Amino acid sequence: MNCKRVGLVVCAAACVALGPLAHAFTLDDVTFWTGTGTQRAALVIDWDPLDAGTDSSYAWGYKWDGGALGEDMVRALSGSGDFRAAPLGTVLGPITGSDPRLGVQLIRDLSWGNYVYGLGYDVDNDGGFEYVIDPVTSTGGPADPDDLYHEGWFGGYWNLQTSTDGSNWAQSMVGLTSLPLTDGLLVASVWDAEFRTFYGQDLPPGEPRPADPPAGGPPVAEANGPYTINMYDGTVTLDATGSYDPDGDDLAFVWAVGDHAAAEMTDPLYTLSWADFISTFGYMGCGDYAVTLSVRDTTGLWGADASSITVTPEPCTLMLLAGGCLALCRRRRR
């Protein structure tokens, strides 16, 4: 059998429908919703599917319009997460969804697509979820030992399953970044410590408890823009004014361009020279790039907004057509 990692799922020896839940969980049972739109899906996470007597299975809801993938749902919901270049590796940017109690370690994989390495939950609601790495053992885990958390690949893994009725679950057979969401779909991430699903055994999630919605509303981000910076001697001011928190909390701001993020700051105005820009976000040639503003309130709730920035070429010494000028400037920078 030729098996490979694809996001959250490992192909199983026998890809059969998994067993039904005792109760058919539906979208109407969800109380924590994020996003806007007419289409709805749910994320179910079970940290201990082998013990039905524990409170280890929880559910959240996601709304959208148009197209969306499983990764979009996880990013929108997890309010305490990291997007890393490798397990325990360099943080490429924060994951700033709606629930500060839900943590995720999302790993970039350029071959098979991004995948979830770890999932955690502040089950006793005493300050939100925080992920820490032990420098002695080189392992990651929750700062609060009372929180739910599992990570890994060889000592267990997160198995991805789907259901359309909340009772009968089946292996997804595609990964997180390749799973299209459809209206009414239930997506379950189940911790498989014994690799049962790898060998074709059933391991459906336990009946989930609806995750509690946050007490206050999340902040609203305003990225403004679009922005422009010249790669010769330009400066740019990224402007988060207009961002606010419905509860009046103070805000912290995180700017990202592409996969690279700046450090968290409290000033809504962020001015950078070209040298500052490339040292923070990496070198970029002429062109258009995605800008993301994430804002966090004092309770740990996040909001996000998108904009763009155009990098323009340095001045040309010859009077050429626009396309030739751009090519000349790029040759001069190399």
For residues 37 and 136, membership in a common domain is answered with yes
215 located within any domain: no
- Whether pLDDT at 320 is above 80: no
Q: Domain tally for the chain?
A: 2
Peptide bond connecting 313 to the previous residue in cis, omega within 30 degrees of 0 = no
Categorize the per-residue pLDDT at 64 as very low, low, confident or very high, splitting at 50, 70 and 90: very high
Q: Are residues 80 and 173 in the same domain?
A: yes
Predicted pLDDT at 23: 57
Identify whether 128 is part of a domain.
yes
The pLDDT of residue 232 is: 83
- Answer with the residue of higher pLDDT: 216 or 299: 299
| Alpha-helical runs (H) found in 227-297 | 274-281
Domain membership flag for residue 218? no
What pTM does this model have? 0.63
204 and 311 together in one domain: no
Same domain, 245 and 307: yes
Domain boundary residue among 159, 179, 210? 210
232, 162: one domain: no
Range in 59-68, 83-92, 166-175, 192-201 with the lowest mean pLDDT: 166-175
Q: How far apart, in whole angstroms, are the C-alpha atoms of residue 118 and residue 112?
A: 17
Q: What percent of the chain has pLDDT over 70?
A: 85
What distance in Å separates the CA atoms of residue 325 and residue 331, rounded to the nearest whole number?
A: 10
CB 294 within 8 A of CB 254: yes
**One domain, residues 317 and 252:** yes
Residue 16 falls inside a structural domain: yes
* CA atoms 328, 329, 332, 334: torsion sign: negative
Written as six digits, the tokens of 164 are: 């359309």
Q: What is the pLDDT of residues 40-62, one digit of tens each?
A: 999 999 999 988 666 899 999 99
Q: Which residue has the tokens 């039905």?
A: 52
195 in the same domain as 59: yes
- 217 belongs to a structural domain: no
Q: Judge if 175 and 265 occupy the same domain.
A: no
CA distance 300 to 100: 6
Tens-place pLDDT, residues 120-163 = 999 988 888 999 999 888 889 999 999 999 998 888 999 999 99
- pLDDT reading at 333 higher than 60: no
Cβ neighbours for 239, distance < 8 A, ≥ 6 positions apart = 224, 225, 268, 269, 270
- Note whether 208 and 169 are within 8 A (CB): no
CB neighbour list of residue 46: distance below 8 Å, 6 or more residues apart: 56, 57, 188, 189, 190, 191, 205, 206, 208
Same domain, 174 and 268: no
- Confidence check: pLDDT of 13 > 50: no
DSSP result, 120-159: EE-TT-SS---EEEETTTTEEEESSTTSEEEE-SSS-EEE
Residue type, 13: A
Residue range(s) defining the domain that contains residue 97: 5-210
Mean pLDDT over each residue of the chain, to the nearest integer = 84
| Residues 31, 138 share a domain | yes
Domain of residue 304, CATH code = 2.60.40.10
Residue ending a domain, among 210, 244, 276, is: 210
Q: Say if 45 falls within a structural domain.
A: yes
Cβ neighbours for 33, distance < 8 A, ≥ 6 positions apart:
60, 61, 62, 63, 213
Q: Are residues 53 and 138 in the same domain?
A: yes
In a domain, 220, yes or no: no
* Structural domain contains residue 327: yes
Question: Among 165, 182, 210, which residue terminates a domain?
Answer: 210
**309 and 161 share one domain:** no
